[in-house]
Chain A
Amino acid sequence: MNGVHDMGGMQDMGPVQRENNEPVFHAPWEGRVFALAQAMFAWRKWNIDATRYEQEIIPPAEYLRMSYYERWLAYVTGLLVKRELVTPAEIESGRPAAGSPKATPPVTAETVPQMLAQGKSVDRNVPVAARFKARQRVRARNINPTGHTRLPRYARGKLGTVERDHGVFVFPDTNAHFLGEKPQHLYSVRFAARELWGDAAAPRDAVYVNLWDDHLEPA
């Protein structure tokens, strides 16, 4: 989706504002929503790509206005409802519907370290042929899907060079919509800054983007 989340190359967003001695969370609720999101992930009712797409569909003006953890609150709430773990009425009242069953949480304080150490593996040990190889010239496809994609707008249609094949990974563009993992090779592709931004860019600077087979065509 050509949404406002796809920010690479946009201008007039102002200077980068830093904060000295920044706390990890600026308010207790930020930590709570962060932890709620992580703990709910363990239900495996969604995946990391779906969490990103759920933020991308926040209306643009809202997206820009919200703080980071407000967007997390929006995505957790949205996915809880869409994946039918809670109903909108329950969100509103803050109480379980009368007679609804009580579940057992998959993660407890004791199993948190194990959950963190296990990570969220998205590489797949399946035999899928690579369509490209290192040092090959490629062009990022000029696609404008209305759903989720990890091919940023600024790279579309641009010429690059495959630097490295990282192996077979889940394809976010389908996985975000629960349309299957479609495992395929993931690459680092180098784009010269001048190819992306024109002659005003420094001649030897480059941007490296991770792209999948479905994002690329031979050049």
Chain B
Amino acid sequence: MKTSRRDFIANAGAAAAAMHDLAHAQEPEHEHDHSVVPSDPALRVKSLESLLVEKGLVDPAALDTLIDAYERKIGPRNGAQVVARAWVDPAYKKRLLANGTAAIAEFGFRGWGGDYLVVVENTPQVHNLIVCTLCSCYPWAVLGLPPVWYKSAAYRSRAVIDPRGVLREFGLELPEDVEIHVHDSTAELRYLVLPERPAGSEKLTEEELAALVTRDAMIGVANVALPPGVRA
């Protein structure tokens, strides 16, 4: 990600200028000194927050709580628990595939980025892959906020036209007779892939299984594997 970080910093100034022009398109008569506009997004966000707090539009403590929720609480460990439960409990798996939202709410995972959850099951015949070609829709309630690659032009453009090429870059080569189902998240439905349970994991507990389930496997760009040595 070094390249994109560099680009990001180099381009922050241009972006700031564009924002500035946008604001001014609304108010063409206004005259001012362009040199006072901060070019760094960090400064612009700070200025915006201070304005919104002073106007009584946001509570800064609410912002702290929101950030903490997504940095510490709402992440892929949520989804991993759901997957492990489905692997060990056939009745739960049935409920999960029939109504993902309700079955996932049994864990208390619901709400933003999880109002309508659809779970799609990988089998020896079918491999599922999740994308949002139009923006960045992602099942926040079970996976947290998406990684940068999921939101990138490279992934959004190619996942639908060249899913096998994308999976190969992730180190996943699928046989030709496995059907790939790509799910483009164009509505408020959010998809979670139920990966195949790895062979040889029969003796593992639900908790041990959950520890094997990765974010990437629940997006569909990886399978779940037993680490060497954990072989039961």
**Measuring CB to CB, which residues of chain A are less than 8 angstroms from any residue of chain B?**
5-11, 13-19, 22, 24-29, 31-36, 38-40, 43, 48, 52, 55, 58-59, 62, 64-70, 73-74, 76-78, 80-82, 85-96, 100, 102-105, 107-109, 111-113, 115-123, 150-152, 154, 166, 169, 172, 186, 188, 193, 196-197, 201-202, 204-212
Contact = CB atoms under 8 A, between A and B. Distances in A.
Contacts of A196: 160-161
A25 B71 contact: yes
A32 B47 CA distance: 11
Nearest to A204: B179
Given A18-B147, A62-B14, A86-B55, 14 more contacts: A7-B157, A22-B1, A36-B49, A52-B135, A70-B12, A70-B41, A82-B26, A86-B52, A112-B69, A118-B111, A119-B111, A150-B187, A208-B184, A209-B184
| Of listed A38, A59, A100, A113, residue having the most chain B CB within 10 A | A38
B163 A64 contact: no
A152 to B, nearest CB: 6
Contacts of A93: 51
A186 B186 CA distance: 10
Between A7, A9, A25, A65, the greatest number of chain B beta carbons within 10 A of the residue's beta carbon is seen for: A7
Interface in B37-58: 37, 41-42, 44-52, 54-58
A186 B187 contact: yes
B57 A205 contact: no
Contacts of B15: 62, 65-66, 70, 74
27 contacts: A7-B156, A8-B134, A9-B133, A13-B152, A15-B169, A19-B148, A29-B42, A32-B49, A39-B59, A39-B63, A40-B52, A68-B151, A73-B19, A77-B48, A81-B26, A88-B23, A88-B26, A95-B51, A96-B55, A103-B57, A108-B59, A109-B62, A116-B112, A119-B110, A152-B186, A197-B161, A207-B182
A64 B156 CA distance: 12
Interface residues of B, number: 95
B5 interface: yes
A55 to B, nearest CB: 7
A152 B133 contact: yes
Contact of A206 (B56, B164, B179): B179
Given A65-B15, A122-B188, A27 B134 contact: no
Given A9-B157, A11-B157, A210-B185, A16 B169 contact: yes
